[in-house]
A = this chain, B = another copy of it.
């Protein structure tokens, strides 16, 4: 018992170490973007037999994880994903955990990672998960709506460029019979128009007809909707009758549209304006 109380006292003696934690508050009034990226996903996708250039199961799983992140964490108004990465936009007015950068990034990456394992079997019904995958995360601040939109445009342009390249590359390998090295040589220095031409003339593929999710990635919105359901009630001294019950619910619809141009933003004016 006396040893125990000694230890008890000891704790206060050690507590000075808390002062080594340094504050990492994000500048107020800036959009907070957390981007999650797969770690060693080249190897992971091979070991789990991902279809090339796009594995639709893997993309849907990524989207499901992002939805879970948006359901669980506060103040995320939009997310955008492609390939093995996902970006989450916290509202510039968010004061979640006093805007501590470490809280933003670790909560997102943790929820995303546990969801990835949790929902795996819903999407990969025939392919067991062999080991727990890893992701990294980072926080970036954007002071203006224009900077934020340019960030999202950058990721969608990246999606486009990579997907066009990968689509041709894997055609050359899978149907053209080239080795990966030869396919790479063939594509070195080609412009987008030339890649389109190869697809069309050699493989009869019109890139424009490729699935939107592959070409544009996935945008997840947060929408408050009123669900109206009907319910029978019976008040004392009255006949039983049907009434409408309205309940506010938040949905997280997934889109695959262009977010570089103005149209998306004009049609969804409240994404960035409304505060959570």
Contact = CB atoms under 8 A, between A and B. Distances in A.
A86 interface: no
A135 B106 contact: yes
A255 interface: no
Contacts of A54: none
A117 interface: yes
Contacts of A157: 7-8, 10-11, 14
Given A29-B143, A105-B106, A154 B11 contact: yes
Interface stretch (A20-28, A234-242, A246-254): A20-28
B136 A129 contact: no
Report the interface size class on chain A: 35 or more
B17 A193 contact: no
A193 B129 CA distance: 50
Contact of A102 (B13, B21, B111, B139): B139
Contacts of A193: 1-2, 4-5
Contacts of A25: 22-23
A29 B157 CA distance: 22
Interface in A92-140: 101-103, 105-107, 109-119, 129, 131-140
Given A113-B114, A143-B29, A4 B160 contact: yes
Given A114-B113, A132-B111, A138-B21, A158 B11 contact: yes
Copies in the complex: 4
Contacts of A192: 1, 4-5, 7-8
A191 interface: yes
Contacts of A205: none
A89 interface: no
30 contacts: A4-B192, A8-B161, A11-B154, A11-B161, A14-B150, A14-B157, A16-B150, A17-B140, A17-B147, A18-B154, A20-B28, A20-B140, A20-B151, A22-B25, A22-B140, A27-B141, A27-B143, A29-B144, A29-B147, A102-B138, A106-B136, A110-B112, A111-B132, A113-B113, A114-B116, A114-B117, A114-B133, A114-B134, A115-B132, A118-B129
Interface of A: 1-2, 4-5, 7-8, 10-11, 13-25, 27-30, 39, 68, 72, 101-103, 105-107, 109-119, 129, 131-144, 147, 150-151, 153-154, 157-158, 160-161, 164, 191-193, 196-197, 207, 260
